[in-house]
Amino acid sequence: MDTAEKPAHASGEQDGGPGRGAVRRATALAGLGSVADVAAVAQLLTTESRQGVLVAGLLSVVTGTLGLIQLYGQPVRKRALVMVALIAVGAGLVGAMAQRYYADATAAPPPQATGAVATDPSTTPPRSTPPPSPSLSSSPSLSPSPSASPSPSAGEKIREAEATLRDQDYLDVESGRIGTVVPGESDLWYVSPYRSLWTAGGGEYPITPVDARPDAEACARALAARDYDQVEVGKLSPGDWACARTAEGNLVGIRFPAIPANGDAPLRISYVVWHATRAE
């Protein structure tokens, strides 16, 4: 009797052993995936590190999938639901970061070709050379002086205006035109779901918050000290200022008279544009 029952008892231990091991592995994977989700959400709310959020989201999806594989054949319990939740949260984070990368890629201006453009001589109308002026030809001491238009000096104010930006609006501060991105002209880009104000080209030009109303020199100093690609408007207070470099190389001071309460509300700003050279 004892001999007959022993194989059955041993077989039960063998069946239970792998099942318990799979549950332990699934539990460990659930813990790892939860840590990855918490790290991803923390980075999204603080530093907004895209690479960190993307890696943590992918890790959550992988651990959740491996956990479901470990629980295959087991009764559907809380562990399986946790794995499904890890996969869902991780996939959502990965999708959000992928959308940001896609938005930056489509907003970046195309590279500009360098070099002279060839022209067809047959299509170029002939130029007529005017006869020399008698007064100049008869007097060798006089020579015509080239007329040069005065260039604006650094720090000279170009424009001061107000604007209201909605989601995905691009603003050219020199002309005040709002619309879709225009390479080489658009300067500011508002992304309302995150209440973030970017420079055009997905943050190609520098922007930074400043402590008080700046002038051109203060903006130049601030941008030399701190160089960001976007400003989180939701973390600012009404009346705060920021400085940015425009696509044309000028400087712009941006004031936020009111902060949008949520991502559906438009952003109202006032701004001052100053002439500045790229050599600064």
Which amino acid appears at position 27 of this protein?
T
253 near 219, Cβ under 8 Å? yes
Residue pointed to by tokens 């489509």: 106
Strand order in the sheet with 251-256: 157-165, 267-274, 251-256, 240-245, 207-210
CA distance 253 to 51: 30
pLDDT band, residue 9 (cuts 50/70/90)? very low
pLDDT value of position 222: 96
- Top-confidence residue, 8 or 277: 277
CA distance 98 to 102: 6
Angle at which helices 50-70 and 78-107 cross, to 10°: 150
Residues in contact with 92: Cβ distance below 8 Å, sequence separation at least 6, in sequence order = 57
Quick one: what percent of the chain has pLDDT higher than 90? 39
Question: Could you report the per-residue pLDDT of 84-108, keeping only the tens digit for each?
Answer: 787 887 777 777 777 776 766 665 4
pLDDT value of position 80: 72
Report the pLDDT averaged over residues 217-234: 95
Which amino acid appears at position 28 of this protein?
A
pLDDT band, residue 127 (cuts 50/70/90)? low
- Top-confidence residue, 112 or 92: 92
Across 90-99, 187-196, 221-230, 248-257, least confident range: 90-99
Question: Could you report the per-residue pLDDT of 153-212, keeping only the tens digit for each?
Answer: 778 999 999 999 999 999 999 999 999 988 889 999 999 999 999 998 889 999 999 999
pLDDT value of position 96: 74
pLDDT value of position 19: 67
Quick one: what percent of the chain has pLDDT higher than 70? 66
